[in-house]
Amino acid sequence: MKIANGILFSLILALGLAVGLCAPASAQTDSQKKRRPAKQAKPAPKPRKVWTDDEIGSLRSPADIYVDAKYGQADGTAATKQPVSAKPAPHVASPALSNPKTVGDADKMIAWEKRDVDAQTEYVERVKTQIEEAPQEDKERLKKVLQERIQILADTRSEMDTLVAQKRELQKKTAANSGSAAAQPSSQ
C-alpha cells in the first residue's frame, strides 16, 4: 500500500514538474510570436505596402462604385440613332441680312448690322486690352482671335455698306415707281 502511494506521489511530482516547465515556455513562445510592444524602440523599417490596381477595387466605397457604374462610362457609349423612317417637317431658315424687299426691311437690317458692328467693335477693343494684360504664352492665341474678329467686323461693315447701297436702290426704285405712278394719272 505504501509502495503504491509512493509511486502515485512520484507520478504527481513528475507530472507537476512537466506542466510547470511547459506552461511558461508555451506562454513565452506565444508572446514572442504575437507580441509587438507599443513602445518598441526603433523596429526595422516595415516593408511598404504598395497597392496595385487590382486591389483598388477593394478600397472603393459603394458610392464610388455606384458613381463609376452610372457615369464612368463616358466613352463606352451607346449610339442613340434608331433606324426608323418617320420624317418631321423641315424648318426653313430665316433670310440672312441681305436683299431687303422694302426700304423698311432695309432699315431694320441696317439697324441690326449696326448693333452687331457696335458690339463687335467693343469686343475687338476688349481683346486688344486682353492681349496687353495676357501672359506671353497666351498672347499668340489672342492675336489670332483678334485677327479673326477684325475680319468678322470688316465683313459685317461690308454687309452693312451693301445694305445701305441696296436701300438706296430701293429708295430710287420707290421714288421712280411713285414718280411713274404720279405721272400716269396726269397723262390720262
* Binding residues among 48-87 for other proteins as defined by CB under 8 A: 48-51, 53, 56, 59-61, 63-64, 67-68, 70-87
* Interface with other proteins (CB under 8 A), residue from 100, 106, 110, 156: 156
Task: State the angle between helix axes of 136-187 and 103-133 in degrees (0 to 180), rounded to the nearest 10.
Answer: 170
Chain center to CA of 142: 23
The nearer residue to other proteins, 19 or 182, going by C-beta atoms, is 19
* Interface with other proteins (CB under 8 A), residue from 104, 129, 155, 173: 155
CA–CA gap between residue 152 and residue 154 (Å, rounded): 5
Query: How far apart are CB 168 and other proteins at their closest, in Å?
Result: 21
Residue in the block written with cell 439697324: 111
Among 105, 100, 97, residue whose Cα is nearest residue 156: 97
Cβ(158)–Cβ(94) under 8 Å?
no
Range in contact with other proteins (rule: CB under 8 A) among 6-14, 99-107, 162-170, 172-180: 6-14
Q: Does 13 bind other proteins (CB under 8 A)?
A: yes
* Interface with other proteins (CB under 8 A), residue from 7, 11, 16, 104: 16
Range in contact with other proteins (rule: CB under 8 A) among 32-40, 99-107, 163-171, 172-180: 32-40
Q: Does 181 bind other proteins (CB under 8 A)?
A: no
Among 140, 113, 112, residue whose Cα is nearest residue 127: 140
Query: How far apart are CB 178 and other proteins at their closest, in Å?
Result: 30
The nearer residue to other proteins, 103 or 123, going by C-beta atoms, is 123
Compute how many other C-beta atoms are within 10 angstroms of the C-beta atom of residue 130.
14
Which residues have C-beta within 8 Å of that of residue 68, sequence separation ≥ 6? 60
The nearer residue to other proteins, 14 or 176, going by C-beta atoms, is 14
Chain center to CA of 146: 26
Q: Does 101 bind other proteins (CB under 8 A)?
A: no
Three cell numbers, residue 103: 426700304
Query: How far apart are CB 30 and other proteins at their closest, in Å?
Result: 6
